[in-house]
Amino acid sequence: MQEKRQKESERDMKKESEFPFDRARRVTPNETQKFREAISEQFGIQLRKRGRPVKNQEDKYEPISIRIHPEALAWAKEEAQNRGIGYQTVINEVLLERITVNSRES
């Protein structure tokens, strides 16, 4: 009996993997918009946009490469873990705070 179940399970697994992924295509932005409109029309709800919100030009960060002392990096990573945020955010906050302090002193 157990052997029969195992064969059925193996057969079902084969069926799941038979999808022709090589013939699949991406949904176009136009199709996505039509889906959203149809859902809104049929169910009376507005779907939220997914993904990261778009930032203003002045809010965008510039990607850089920087060398930091290992102790400073370890502190930033530990602080980030304690606060539940990214270590780069911690480094950025410290630098921005320093800029604010220096501008007050001038």
Band (94; pLDDT cuts 50, 70, 90): very high
Alpha-carbon gap, residue 105 to 95, rounded angstroms: 16
- pTM reported for the whole predicted model: 0.48
91: number of Cβ within 10 Å: 19
**Is 47 in contact with 39 (CB distance < 8 Å)?**
yes
* pLDDT, average across residues 55-60: 79
The pLDDT of residue 62 is above 90: no
* pLDDT, average across residues 57-65: 84
* pLDDT, average across residues 19-23: 82
- Residue 55: how many CA atoms within 13 Å on its side-chain side? 7
pLDDT of residue 71: 98
Domain boundaries in the chain?
2-43, 63-105
